[in-house]
Structures are given as structure tokens and as C-alpha cells.
Structure 1
């Protein structure tokens, strides 16, 4: 009979209510569950409703009897749009005034059970704890959904302000090279800094101060978990370890999960309805002939930008699969007048869906390139599948990611701050035809390194095994000594 000494560890995961965060943390939850760790997954009531409506998570996680979902209020009315692109400050105020006291009360009352081994907290929510809190009786591991390159850049922002590198002094200052980010000398321009750095008064901007303080706080917890791998970001991970020595780099998490599953599958953790018809369309296309276009879950563009992308794609003469979310374009999509040449060009060479099964799309042999917003999950998914990228970054970490894709890893082109049909046409043809061999060579090499990292002996698999072992040790330390 199994005694108390053999009880499995119990981990609470708390995810921020955003598509990219929920997606990657559910993959971590699945990995922990496969390693016989009991998981309680906490997110907001609104995100949970969307998730269970548009994905199979309840069925998928039902194979882990000890796994449980829990929800918490975000304090916002049902009608609130909850978009991180335009309502972040409003959402933050509600999280601070409503979610923070609720969550702290749950922990104190033992709402999640008296046997918690540790808490894995989304770094976005690092403000839920004060550094001098003593009511938390378990270790806190922080999970960062951003890559190391953007995380280190954000951690360096206070020094950039102190040294007079910020604020940016208008458009004429955007291409100034920054030499004050250790390990990134002569690489980053002002325009490559995270989007929230483009403010007039960085010392008093609430969004910049919140994000920077959240990242600094992330390094103060018991450990840091990052969705990256040593062959991709090793030197920068080493810099972050100077602030947080206990750092587990265990990415790409979606690839690590696939190595643990006995069948080929994609864990769909979507907040929108997936249109799988695009896979049948791809089946009828030639290998490497399609440019896949998706701007992620938070990008919002104007009608003019939509038209420039559309003209650029059609004028390129290449086949394209384009994800156009219902809320991608500002205003009402129905008011857009579509020129006949775009309708005809799309009918001949294009396919559009509201949301796609991205991992399956990127792994499809018909896809030869990815026009992306450079979100970290999308970047890693493209890297694993060896698909070159065209980067049109929108917000937050994406500006840094796109610079690394183009100027460090040589995996594609950076189109940030540009949106004209001529540039789009040229870059699509460069990635798909003119410079295809160059980019494919780099992409294939990096894909091999990514896969090696999650296979036996690979750095990410070794680090994940260390994480599991450390959680088990913590669990054993919590057990009563029955020898007394």
C-alpha cells in the first residue's frame, strides 16, 4: 500500500490570461503531469471559459486523475474586451485591486490544498507577492513566457535610463545603436527595444515601469523557468543567471512535450475556434511553395496596413495561407472594400482562416516560410520546423525577437516599422526564392539544435529532469518524519 512518503508532489501553476501564456503553461502542466506531478492549473474565469469552449483541454487532461483546473476572478465585467494591446493598464488595475487579494486569500485559507509543494507563477503576475511576504509557505518558481534575449533587454532598461540612452528622441533617433546592454553590444538599435520603451518619460510611464519591475521581481523568487535552449540563447541565459542562478532552460516546450508523448499530436490550447480546413488546402500545394501568415493573438492593424499586406502577398505571386482573426483589424471588417484584383489573386493563390492549428501548419511540407509578429511561441515553433521568417513585430518582446531572428540567428528578415506592399513583395520573394538557400541552411541547422536539446542527453531535457527532481526533493522535505 502506498504510504505518505510516496505521495507525488503537488504544483500550482498560475497563468496570465493571454493565449500565448496559457498555451505554453498548459504544455508545462502536461509535462509535469506526465512526470507524475499533481498539477492544479489556475487562470481567470473568462480565459477558462474561452479555453474549454474552443479546445479539448478537459478531455485531454482527464487522463491525469490528479490534475485539476481552478479559476479566479479578474474583476472585470463580462462585456470587457480584455485585449492586452489596448486595455492593459485597465486590466492591471483590476488585477491589483481584485485578483491579488483574492489569490492571497486562497493561499492563506488552503484553497488549493494543504499539500502544495511549490507554486509556478507566470512572471506577468509577479506583482501578486511582495518581496517581504512571509505568509507563503512554499517555494515560488517564476515562469517567463518571453525569450532570454528580450528578458535580458528588459532587465537592462533601468541602466539604459540611468545612462541617458532613454528616452528615444523621435524618429531620427530610432536607428541609434545601443552599447549598454551587456552581451548585445553593437546589435540593438533604439527601434529594436521593446515597444513600451517608445515613451517620452520612461521614469513615469506606468506600463514601462510595471513590466520592468515585473521582470526584476521575477529574478528574486526561488527559481526561474524559461522556454528557451542553450544552443539558441546560451550566452544571454548566462547573463540572466548572474541575477538568478537557479534557472531552468527547458525549451522549446512544445517540442519537449512531443518527445514525451507516445503518439504524434498537437496540444491545442486555443482561445479561438480552430479552422483545420487549411491543412487540406496545404495538402494540395507543392512542397515549400506557401508563405504562412499569422500575426498572433494580440496584434491589431489598420485597414491601410491590411491592404498593404494583402497587395504585397498577391503581388509576390506566391501561394499564401493567412490567419485573419475576427479582431485583427481596427473597426469593422465588413466595411473594408476589397479591390477585384485582390479577390482574384486570393482565389488563385491564397487561403484565409480565422485561426489555424499553427504547429501542424508550420510542420507541413508545403510551407516554405512564415510571415510572423515574432511572438516568442511562434518564433520557437518556426525554429523547430526549420522555417525561415519575415518579422513584422507589434508589441512588447517582439521587437527584440525580430532583431535576433534577422541579425543574430540569420533565420529571416526583419520588417519592423515598415508596412508597404513593395517591401512585403520583395521580402516574401527573398525568403521564398531569392535567398531561400541561405535562410534554409541556417534554419535547418537551428532546427537540428532545437530537436537535439529535447532529446536524450540534450540540455533542455536534462534541465527539465533536474526541475522534476528538485520538485520531488521539495515534496519529500515537506513530509512528516514518521521515524519519530
Structure 2
């Protein structure tokens, strides 16, 4: 257990990989700015306190069954989490407040149940948005529901969303569900409880999303703190995501990368939640092989519907790619993207992956699956122009063509690579003294201290 070193903050992440990582990175940033940290986490995807000796931990029993905790049904999981966690969170919060003063609560925006509980204790609540600002602009545009966009109609998929350029209807942050009203309810609650918070923390930076941040500042009356990229606040060897990984990482792939020339390897990872069909899996395999470029491919257990791991691959496939292809169950992604051998990242465009790729100047092949990934992919390909999107699903010919275009340096591919390197530099500058994220972090620290002082005077 840590020694109390400054005002105490309570942080509560949404218990899925892509949300745990940035919350723990934020905890580390705030701890380095003289705050004491307590992490409140659920029994589902429970964290290991021994990995973070400088934090305190409090586990709440969420009461979610094994069926309900299946993140393959993300919508139902979110609803159950925000229902079942209210009582145990309230009990936990009451106990912690009885032991010592707390400056504020910082919760994931999707843990919207925390707002009313915090209010009942007069505890200030800040929100961490683990998605980008651009996708949150789309999330907040709830008026779209009355304009025929939700539920999405197949006949309108290619239509432009005039209120949200450059998005088309197909780029809206939706999930596949037969209950669109429930999805709308989750969005509504998340957005409204964010609006009633006392500030929003973003894992992004001004130069990347200045327009979207400005739009949100007009829509919300709460302060905004874009202090990202979170993972770049610390040296590469201080890797919070390794400690918080829910799947063991294969470190042998780094040794494999060391044997390859600079910018020669295609890295493929579709994140911790996405799933694909057997047919799509085989198209990816054939496209990678036919491209004639070395590839490092993350195939998460359960990625392919109905299979445990690599069973759908043709007999002899793994043996035939030896030396040119390497397949792992999970990988240390930040270390991989920073490796000189990586020339291209084929990604699902989760925000963490997108931002990590931008920070290393690695061009992207975009293959979004749901929610904010769709918005991120559109921005990567049509606003920041540091990647290309697979628009026609997973077809081996298009996969091969796209890899070759970005890896073999035609004019468009070179322009994409040049823009990616420019964004990498901007991401580096924002964290330096006087940079936008550095200044925003200073404002955040001052804001939290002002909340603590207000709390003290009110009590």
C-alpha cells in the first residue's frame, strides 16, 4: 500500500482492456503530480494490486454473472454494469470517505452510474473519455436519431451526415444490435452524465483534434483537459499497459522483429473485443501472404467465431510462413509500434491503437468494427490522411493491393507516410514545456486542487 503523499483521488475504469489502460496511465500521470491514488475496480477483470505498489485498490463485487459479463454482447454488458455496480460502489465510497478526505472522483464516461452516487456524497466527479474527441462529437449528436439515422437504414449507408463532416451514415458510431433503443439509452446516459460532471479529461492533443475539441467546448459548460497522449508522458520502459494486460503478452515477437529491416514488417492487430468470421480470417491470411511482405499477426483467442485460435488456417500454413510471418496471441503493442522494423499497422482503429500509431508515425490500414472505431477510421483516412480504409470488407485482393500501396512507396503511399511522420512530431511537441498538453495538464492539476479546496470549505 502506498504512503499518503498528497490529495487523494479515486479513479474507476470501465473493466475492459481498452479502457483500463488509459485510466491507469492517467493514474500514473496524476501520481507523478503529487496526488495519492486509489483505484476502484470491479471483480470482473479484476486488477492485480501487486503490479502497482504506489496505488491503493478497492474491489467492488459487481454481481454480474458469467453470461452477463460476456463482452461479445457489449451493449448488455454496459447496461448490467451500470445497474449492478450502484450499490457496491456506494458502500465502497462511503467507507473510503469515512477514512480520509478525497479531492474528487475520476470515472470512465461509460461508468455513468457513478455520477449520481458521487453527487449523493457531495463528491466532485471528473470524467475520462477514453475515445477521441471527434468520435464523441458524433456520440453527442443525439438529434440524429430523429432525423432517420438511428436505427441505420441500409439504403442510406453511403449518405453524408451533413452535421458531422466528413462522416457518412456508415461511419456513425453504432454497434450491431437488434435493440437500438437500448443503445440510444446508453449513449444518452453517458453523454448527459458527462455534461453534469465538473470536467472532462481527454487522451488526445490539440493539434490533432482542435476542431472537435472546440465544438465540444461550445456544447458543454464544463472545462476540457486534452492532456494526451497519455502513454508518452513516460519512458517506453515504464509501460503501464504491460502490467494491466488481461492477456499474457508474447515478448518473443520483439526478437523476431529485430531480424528484419527498418519499415519492412506489417503489424496486424484487431484489438481486444472485435470478432470476425472464418471466411474473413482466411481472406486476411491470404492477403498477408500474397503481399510478399513480412507480417506480425496478433490472433487473439476467440477472435474467430466458433474457434479457439488458429484452427481455420489451412494445413501447413504456419509452417509455410516461417521466417516471413509470425503469429502471436497477444503482443506488447506500444513497444512493437515503436520498433524500427514496423512499416504499417493494420488496425481496428480503437482509440488507443490509433493514437499509439500516430505517436510512432506508422501509417495505418483501417478496418473498424463498431462504435468509435468507425469515426476514427474515417478521420485517419480522410482528415489526417495517414492511412487507407478497407471499404469493401476483407477481400484478399484489396488487402494485398492496400499493403503494397502503403509499403512500396508510390506517390500516395509516400504522402501518407510523410503526413504520419509530421503528426508524430506534433504529438511529441505537445508534451514538451509550453506544449498544449503540458499546459492542459497544469490546468487540470490546478482544477483538481480547487475542487479539493471547495470541498474543504463546504464541509
TM-score range, shorter chain: over 0.9
Q: Deviations over 1:202-239 (max 9, x none)?
A: 4xx21232123312321221111111110000011011
Assess if the C-alpha contact under 8 Å between 1:300 and 1:328 holds in 2. Answer: yes
1:178, 1:188 → 2: CA distance? 6
Give the 5 Å matches for 1:127-138: 127-130=113-116, 134-138=119-123
Q: Deviations over 1:45-68 (max 9, x none)?
A: 2322xx43xxxx624x32x3xx20
**Structure 1 residue 335: Cα displacement:** 8.0
- Which stretch shows the higher mean deviation, 337-346 or 233-242? 337-346
Matched, 1:233 2:233: no
Partner of 1:98: 84
Partner of 2:442: 465
1:428, 1:212 → 2: CA distance? 39
1:348, 1:367 → 2: CA distance? 15
Change (3 A) 1:320 1:477: same
Partner of 1:400: 375
Assess if the C-alpha contact under 8 Å between 2:128 and 2:200 holds in 1. Answer: yes
Partner of 1:178: 161
The one of 407, 412, 426 equivalent to 2:387 is 412
Matched, 1:350 2:335: no
Partner of 1:32: 30
Matched, 1:150 2:135: yes
Change (3 A) 1:418 1:297: same
Assess if the C-alpha contact under 8 Å between 2:360 and 2:424 holds in 1. Answer: yes
Change (3 A) 1:122 1:87: closer
1:410, 1:463 → 2: CA distance? 26
Change (3 A) 1:297 1:401: same
| Aligned Cα root-mean-square deviation (Å) | 2.3
The one of 389, 393, 398 equivalent to 1:423 is 398
Change (3 A) 1:58 1:168: same
Assess if the C-alpha contact under 8 Å between 1:150 and 1:194 holds in 2. Answer: yes
**Structure 1 residue 72: Cα displacement:** 1.0
**Structure 1 residue 43: Cα displacement:** 1.2
Assess if the C-alpha contact under 8 Å between 1:147 and 1:376 holds in 2. Answer: yes
The one of 339, 351, 376 equivalent to 2:351 is 376
Partner of 1:448: 425
**Structure 1 residue 100: Cα displacement:** 1.0
- Which stretch shows the higher mean deviation, 396-405 or 239-248? 239-248
Give the 5 Å matches for 1:53-452: 58-59=50-51, 61-62=52-53, 64=54, 67-77=55-65, 79-80=66-67, 82-89=69-76, 91-110=77-96, 113-130=99-116, 134-156=119-141, 158-170=142-154, 172-181=155-164, 184=165, 187-196=166-175, 202=180, 205-244=181-220, 245-258=222-235, 264-267=237-240, 268=242, 269-333=244-308, 336-340=311-315, 342-416=317-391, 418-433=393-408, 434=410, 435-452=412-429
Q: Deviations over 1:371-429 (max 9, x none)?
A: 00000000000000000000110111100000000000010011155111111111111
Q: Deviations over 1:159-209 (max 9, x none)?
A: 112233443321x3211111023xx2xx1111111123x66774xx21232
Q: Deviations over 1:455-477 (max 9, x none)?
A: 11110111111111222233344
Partner of 1:46: 44
1:32, 1:335 → 2: CA distance? 41
Please state whether the residue corresponding to 2:100 is helix, strand or coil. coil
Please state whether the residue corresponding to 2:38 is helix, strand or coil. strand
Aligned residues: 450
2:279, 2:306 → 1: CA distance? 12
Structure 2 alignment gaps of length 5 or more: none
Provide the TM-score with structure 1 as the length reference.
0.87
Assess if the C-alpha contact under 8 Å between 2:5 and 2:36 holds in 1. Answer: no
Change (3 A) 1:135 1:217: closer
Please state whether the residue corresponding to 2:219 is helix, strand or coil. coil
Change (3 A) 1:442 1:93: closer
Assess if the C-alpha contact under 8 Å between 1:324 and 1:352 holds in 2. Answer: yes
Partner of 1:3: none
Assess if the C-alpha contact under 8 Å between 1:122 and 1:144 holds in 2. Answer: yes
- Which stretch shows the higher mean deviation, 389-398 or 328-337? 328-337
Q: Deviations over 1:254-308 (max 9, x none)?
A: 11234xxxx8432222011011000000000010000000001001111111101
**Structure 1 residue 479: Cα displacement:** 4.4
Provide the TM-score with structure 2 as the length reference.
0.92
Change (3 A) 1:417 1:82: farther
Q: Deviations over 1:288-336 (max 9, x none)?
A: 0000000010011111111010000001101000111112111123683
